[in-house]
Structure 1
Amino acid sequence: MNLTTTDMSPEALREALIGKVKDAGYARNGAVEDALRTVERHHYVPDVELADAYANDIVVTKRTPEGEVLSCASQPGIVALLLDQLCPQRGDRVLEIGAGTGYNAALLAHLVGKEGRVTAIDVDGDIVDYASERLAAAGIGNVEVVLGDGAHGYEPGAPYDGIIASVGAYGIPDKWLSQLAPGGRLVVPLRIRGSVSRSIAFERARDGGWRSVEHAMCGFVPLRGGIADDPRSRIDLTGDNTVTLQSHQDQPFAPERLTGVLDQPRSEIWTGVTFARMESLEWMYLWLTCALPGGLRSMPAEQTAIDSGRITPMFRTGMAVPGDGELAYLAKRPGGHDSEGHELTETGVVGHGPHGGALAARVADEIRTWDRDFRHRGARFEIPADGTDTSDPTRGRFFLDRPHHPITVVWQ
């Protein structure tokens, strides 16, 4: 007999969700899988359908009047990714930045056991109250939810064996590092530059700095309401919001100069760099966002703008590099087949604006450089001990300044 998700019990829905999470490569840690199986997600999002509570997707719980997401129950697959990276042990003390619905804190409480302690901190009083109520109703006694600016950490509970940010960050505050116990680990979804983010697990290095031990592509609702805010907005490229560009605090060019840029002269360059059908573009994205002053930015487009030919991006949510009155975005076309007969896709760059051709050419050159010299290397992230700029792009080393602590991205 075939059951639909509406006919399935919460236990069956959890098992189905765990299967999807593991198929995606997360919940590698058996303890994390056990936490996902034990903690009832629907208890923390009681106002949605049971099937939606156990979908591998976010559940939005708070928005701005403009519709931007302020708080949500994070996608379970990404939750599992972060917990895998943190790898908490029985008896650990853990600080969570961003309380959400309380679901993440419940998972952490299960992982650290009754001997451990979890503190979750959030800037919104209503979120703190909601998470506290849900955790108390579930009978979870080893979690405290407190009100405050998570960028300051929470000194009364320090030192922590682990600090995990359930919100996206651009800067890494001093308090997160100073409140970690020796051997402690920080897990943070860090916006690298532009719209490119990775969840990074940092541990202290021998030289007194910090070095990544794991990292993976992901995105999160940004930290807000305090000293480490990461405000973001949308630039209307077309005048009717059918194509927009995500803008961040590190935007080096005047946003208003980009409105109408897609109506300016168009240039098209094909790089000869190809990808297999299921191959991730994340490493090319990381290289471009490090190598180009404007970074690589998300460019959502309405289907009408694509169907009309006004824009021909790689995907509906395209990726673009802004300039001072010009824009270059990534495109694709069939790229033949590999030696085993698999289809390939070739990467191209489309430029618009008075100097759109030059910007497109620079982006194309960086794609070729990455493909030729760095495509088969791994990357790591460092928080340098003394903040010294040691950039050397020819050797795959980029120094990215930002609030609180700079980071260095190194292709190994």
Structure 2
Amino acid sequence: MNAIVTETSPEALREAMIDKVKDAGYARSRSVEEALRAVERHHYVPDVDLAAAYANDIVVTKRGADDAVLSCASQPGIVALLLDQLDVQRGHRVLEIGAGTGYNAALLAHLVGEDGHVTTIDVDADIVEHARERLAATDIDNVDVVLGDGACGHQPGAPYDRIIASVGVYGIPDGWLSQLVSAGRLVIPARIRGGVSRSLAFERAPGGGWRSVDDAMCGFVPLRDGVADDPRRRVDLTGDNSVKLQMHQEHTFDLGRLAGVLDQPRTEVWTGVNFGWMESLEWMYLWLTCTMDGALCSMPVEQAAIDSGLVTPMFRSAMAVPGEGELAYLAGRPAGQDSNGRGLTETGVVGHGPAGNRLAHRVADEIRTWDRNFRNRAVRFEVPADDTDLSHPSRGRFFLDRPHHPIAVVWQ
């Protein structure tokens, strides 16, 4: 006799989750869709209710002393995005960096089949123990959960057909590249620079090095407590945390000079560069983070700071370019309608600080350069075969140095 399925049953909630994932353009491959359908997500997050377990959202499972997220079950849509990029085949050997709840390893186990094998590694013993217990409870026996620094890979299980990082990374460690088979693929949610991240799928390039075969905008909890961790700091710009700026390891200037910067003289510059309804700003963000000395950083804003007129950002999840005591953030204003009657938004830049006027104009100039010369070009990401800096910004080629291996960003 068939079990009764209600609208709030795990089966119905899982189907609704998959519908949302597919509507967002993820789970493009049949195998990934089948894996999402086969693996019960609520089993891996037993401390939340069913509705939360099957929401297309993260489920936080561990926080640090500062309330920062240390581990979570990733948003199902982003999980599906990465698995689509990974292109796992039956019989593959897969290494996952970041065990999390064990849910992603269970999906990978389904994808590789009984003739394949998955190794997942995490730096925290409690996370490893939870993932082991959850996987064992569902009789998944083709996954090894290992305690260790995922940045080193896991040599005992190498070589791998696929390596995937389920955590955000900045550097690309040697172990990941050397532990792949010659035709292998590496998928990493990489922080490119500042607050701009993309999920990159790399394969070996014919002339040496590695070249992206797919990429998409995304963000992940960063790798930590190892040789390739990516520490982040939040600077309180207002004294009450209503506007904060997230800074990264490449920012070496005195962050204390940014405190109170929004109380200093304001400059407003409008670029004439418009975006259509629901058009992504991701490629402009990428251009700015490559061209600006301070990169482009996340600037979370509380609604109260907007209501008071202290800041007028384009979005509450604002983006800003920091300097040596000055700051420029992105703003927007209505710019009429497109041919379909949908609203257009003009991009602006608001600067504060002693050199805020100069910084705002510099950011605006780069936005216009991108719009004029590079807006309609495709972008490729490379891990060069050597450390030779072949940057040529006027031609849209940037060499971004970082720990372990640099990344080249190329507008083609």
Q: What secondary structure does 1:189 align onto?
A: strand
Shift of 1:159: 0.1
Cα deviations by residue, 1:276-306 (Å, 9 ceiling, x for unpaired): 1110000100110011111100000111110
Shift of 1:240: 1.3
Cα deviations by residue, 1:30-73 (Å, 9 ceiling, x for unpaired): 00000000000000001101010000000000001211000000
Match of 1:289 in 2: 289
Shift of 1:341: 2.5
Match of 1:168 in 2: 168
Shift of 1:197: 0.2
Match of 2:18 in 1: 18
Q: How does 1:192-341 map to 2 (within 5 A)?
A: 192-341=192-341
Q: Is the 8 A contact 1:252 1:294 kept in 2?
A: no
Question: Normalising by structure 2, what TM-score?
Answer: 0.98
Q: How does 1:67-216 map to 2 (within 5 A)?
A: 67-216=67-216
Q: Is the 8 A contact 1:6 1:51 kept in 2?
A: no
Q: What secondary structure does 2:200 align onto?
A: strand
User: Share of identical aligned residues, percent?
Assistant: 75
Match of 1:57 in 2: 57
Q: Is the 8 A contact 1:252 1:293 kept in 2?
A: no
C-alpha separation between the residues in 1 aligned to 2:46 and 2:173?
Answer: 34
Given the superposition, is the C-alpha separation of residues 6 and 289 from structure 1 closer, same or farther in structure 2, using an over 3 Å criterion?
A: farther
The one-letter amino acid of 1:191's match is: R
* Structure 2 gaps, min length 5: none
Q: Is the 8 A contact 1:6 1:50 kept in 2?
A: no
Match of 1:351 in 2: 351
The one-letter amino acid of 1:118's match is: V
C-alpha separation between the residues in 2 aligned to 1:24 and 1:269?
Answer: 34
Match of 2:385 in 1: 385
Shift of 1:233: 1.3
Count residues in correspondence: 408
C-alpha separation between the residues in 1 aligned to 2:126 and 2:51?
Answer: 26
Match of 2:366 in 1: 366
The one-letter amino acid of 1:316's match is: R
Shift of 1:252: 3.7
Shift of 1:388: 0.9
Q: What secondary structure does 2:170 align onto?
A: coil
Cα deviations by residue, 1:385-411 (Å, 9 ceiling, x for unpaired): 011100011100000000000010000
Q: What secondary structure does 2:341 align onto?
A: coil
Given the superposition, is the C-alpha separation of residues 6 and 71 from structure 1 closer, same or farther in structure 2, using an over 3 Å criterion?
A: farther
Shift of 1:239: 1.3
Q: What secondary structure does 1:349 align onto?
A: strand
C-alpha separation between the residues in 1 aligned to 2:13 and 2:342?
Answer: 36
C-alpha separation between the residues in 2 aligned to 1:273 and 1:242?
Answer: 29
Q: Is the 8 A contact 2:60 2:71 kept in 1?
A: yes
C-alpha separation between the residues in 1 aligned to 2:141 and 2:330?
Answer: 50
Given the superposition, is the C-alpha separation of residues 74 and 6 from structure 1 closer, same or farther in structure 2, using an over 3 Å criterion?
A: farther
C-alpha separation between the residues in 1 aligned to 2:354 and 2:9?
Answer: 59
Q: Is the 8 A contact 2:6 2:12 kept in 1?
A: no
Cα deviations by residue, 1:224-280 (Å, 9 ceiling, x for unpaired): 010001000100111111100001001142111100000000000000000011100
C-alpha separation between the residues in 1 aligned to 2:31 and 2:293?
Answer: 42
C-alpha separation between the residues in 2 aligned to 1:16 and 1:342?
Answer: 30
* Structure 1 gaps, min length 5: none
Instruction: Supply the RMSD in Å over aligned alpha carbons.
Output: 1.0
Shift of 1:6: 8.9
C-alpha separation between the residues in 2 aligned to 1:238 and 1:6?
Answer: 49
The one-letter amino acid of 1:35's match is: A
The one-letter amino acid of 2:354's match is: P
Match of 1:9 in 2: 9
Q: Is the 8 A contact 1:26 1:84 kept in 2?
A: yes
Question: Does residue 28 in structure 1 map to residue 28 in structure 2?
Answer: yes
Q: What secondary structure does 2:100 align onto?
A: coil
